[in-house]
A and B are shown apart, each in its own frame.
Chain A
Amino acid sequence: ETGVTQTPRHLVMGMTNKKSLKCEQHLGHNAMYWYKQSAKKPLELMFVYNFKEQTENNSVPSRFSPECPNSSHLFLHLHTLQPEDSALYLCASSQGHRGGGDTQYFGPGTRLTVL
């Protein structure tokens, strides 16, 4: 596998379920990101991890819980979500040396539907 992969690609869950999204990068990068795209809205940054340390939490509700066990893997744990959390969740990675000047490489996303 090359680039950034995300699983699952589609997920339907009830409001009381607990599920996790997985992201894996095969680029040797040190920074990883979670983004959310809701209908008719721009891509919105949720979390940033740099060298496994969380450096940004963009005021995300606690029902979204990220985990970065190593530089290649990033998880987003979901629990007691609301229907308005239905969106496309994208993962990205970058080298992690130039901050805002780093090119970010995106995965294909997970389409989440909360019933």
Chain B
Amino acid sequence: ILNVEQSPQSLHVQEGDSTNFTCSFPSSNFYALHWYRWETAKSPEALFVMTLNGDEKKKGRISATLNTKEGYSYLYIKGSQPEDSATYLCAVNAGGTSYGKLTFGQGTILTVHP
């Protein structure tokens, strides 16, 4: 069973703060890692897919890094805005016969206060 852990569970920051959170997974069982943003009453929105060790992806003020050897990914948000408030999900695919199968973490709930 693939275990994906996210920390912290929740985070409150002030507008303008930069923040980051972590996704951990078994390094021996990895093909791809996905980050999603899920706002209340909306669909989860894909942010990044990463597969290679050392991968870095960026989308506006949000960026992510991947370390497959030690089994973690960081998501960074620079200069948080209230509209960044959402649950951030990470999901891992172990490859092999687990075609398309994503195992999700519990998510990090981010609240950005004006």
Contacts and interface: CB of A to CB of B under 8 A. Distances in A.
A46 to B, nearest CB: 11
Contacts of B107: 42
Contact of A108 (B43, B46, B51, B99): B43
A90 B45 CA distance: 13
Given A4-B43, A106-B43, A108-B42, A43 B32 contact: no
B contact patch SS: loop
A50 to B, nearest CB: 7
Contacts of A101: 31-32, 49, 51, 93
Contacts, number: 76
Interface residues of A, number: 28
Nearest to A31: B100
B106 interface: yes
A81 interface: no
A55 interface: yes
Nearest to A103: B46
A106 B101 contact: no
A102 B93 CA distance: 10
A103 B49 contact: yes
A100 B106 contact: no
Interface of A: 3-4, 31, 33, 41-45, 48, 50, 55-56, 58, 90, 94, 96, 99-109
**Sorted from nearest, which 5 A-B pairs have the closest CB atoms?**
A100-B93, A43-B104, A42-B104, A106-B43, A101-B32
